Structure 1
Amino acid sequence: MTPDRNAAPALTFFAELSVAVGAPIDVGPTPEGHRRIVPIIGGTFNGPQINGKVLSGGADHQILRSRELTELDARYALETDAGQRIYVHNTALRHGTAEDIECLNRGEEVAPERIYFRCWPRLTTSAPELAWLNNQLAVGTGERHPGRVVVRVFLID
C-alpha cells in the first residue's frame, strides 16, 4: 500500500516535564520587544520509558511581542535516572488576553485552557542509548503555573 502523502504525521507521547522556574529578570523594552529572562532552577520529567530531573542552570529568554503574545526560547538540560543527559532547546509561543498574560507575568495562576501555549522542543544528547533523539522532531503543549512550567512533549513519527 502506498502511504498517503497528505496524511498528518502521528504523534507519540515522550514525557511530561515539570520545570521549576525562579523570579524573572526584567530587562525591559528593547528594539526587539520587552525582554525577560526566567531562570530554570530544577524540576522533574516522566514518560513511559524515561524519567529523571531537570538540571538547574538553564533559562527561558522571553520577548513580549505585544500585550497578548510572548515568544519563548528556553535552553536547559535533563538528566535521566540512569545519568544520561539531554539538551533541550525549546522555542514556543504563548498567547492570551492582555489581562491573562499580565497575570502570568506577575506569577499568578491562570487557567491553562485560557492560554495558547505551543512549543517545538529540540532534544539532543551524547548518550548512545538515546542517540535516536538526535534524529527526531517534537512538538508540545505548555502550561505556566506559579513557580513552574509544565511541558508535554510529543515526538513526531
Structure 2
Amino acid sequence: MTQMPQPPALEYAGTLSVLIGDPIDVGPTPEGHRRIIPITGGTVSGPRLNGRVLPGGADFQILHTPELSQLDARYAVQTEDGAVVSVDNAAIRSGSAEALGRIARGEPVDPAEIYFRCAPRLRSSAPRWDWVNRTLFVGTGERYPDRVVVHVFAVG
C-alpha cells in the first residue's frame, strides 16, 4: 500500500501592508481589462521579515472576467538592516462579480468574500538575505480601499 505524500510545512515569515494609490485604467485588451495600481509605500513586520515597502512599484492587473483577476505586483522592501529585497508577487483574486466590482471601485469588501492567494518571489543581493533567494513563498491577501495586506509563508 502506498502512503499519501505529506504536504510541506509553512512557516509564517511576515505581513506586508502595501499602501496603494489611485488606479490607472488601461481598459480592455485582448487578455482582459487592464489596470495599474501604484504602490506608494507601506510596512513589513513579522518573525523573519521587517522593514518598509518603498514607493515606486505597481500592481499590474488583468480582470479576466467579472469574477476573476490576475495580479502581478512588483515592488521593493527595505529591511530594518538596510538591505533591499525585490518582491514579484503573482496572485489570483476571485469572488462574486458584485464583490470584485466593489474592490474595483475602491469600496470596502470583507476579506472572507474573496479568494486571494499569491506566490511572492523575494530576491536580494545582500549576503545576510540570501535565504530569500533560496526559499519558495506563498501567501494570502486582503484588499482594503487604501492598501493590500499580504501574509507571507515560507514553504518548508
Q: TM-score, normalised by structure 1?
A: 0.96
Is 1:152–2:148 an aligned residue pair?
A: no
- Gapped runs of 5+ residues in structure 2? none
Instruction: Give SS of 1:151's match.
Output: strand
Q: TM-score, normalised by structure 2?
A: 0.97
Partner in structure 1 of residue 34 of structure 2: 35
2:80 and 2:129 map into 1 onto residues whose CA distance is 13
Is 1:95–2:70 an aligned residue pair?
A: no
Instruction: Give SS of 1:136's match.
Output: coil
Q: Which amino acid aligns with 1:120?
A: A
Q: CA deviation at 1:5?
A: 7.3
Instruction: Give SS of 2:128's match.
Output: helix
Runs of 4+ aligned structure 1 residues displaced above 3 Å come to none
Is 1:135–2:134 an aligned residue pair?
A: yes
1:11 and 1:5 map into 2 onto residues whose CA distance is 18
Q: Give the root-mean-square deviation of aligned CA atoms.
A: 1.0
Q: Which amino acid aligns with 1:71?
A: Q
Per-residue CA deviation, residues 101-150 of structure 1 (Å, 9 max, x unaligned), is: 00000000000000000000000001100101101101000000011000
Partner in structure 2 of residue 20 of structure 1: 19
Partner in structure 2 of residue 50 of structure 1: 49
Aligned residues: 154
Per-residue CA deviation, residues 33-83 of structure 1 (Å, 9 max, x unaligned), is: 000000000000001133110000000000000000000000000001111
Partner in structure 2 of residue 108 of structure 1: 107
Partner in structure 1 of residue 121 of structure 2: 122
Q: Which amino acid aligns with 2:78?
A: E
Q: Which amino acid aligns with 1:50?
A: L
1:14 and 1:143 map into 2 onto residues whose CA distance is 17
Partner in structure 1 of residue 82 of structure 2: 83
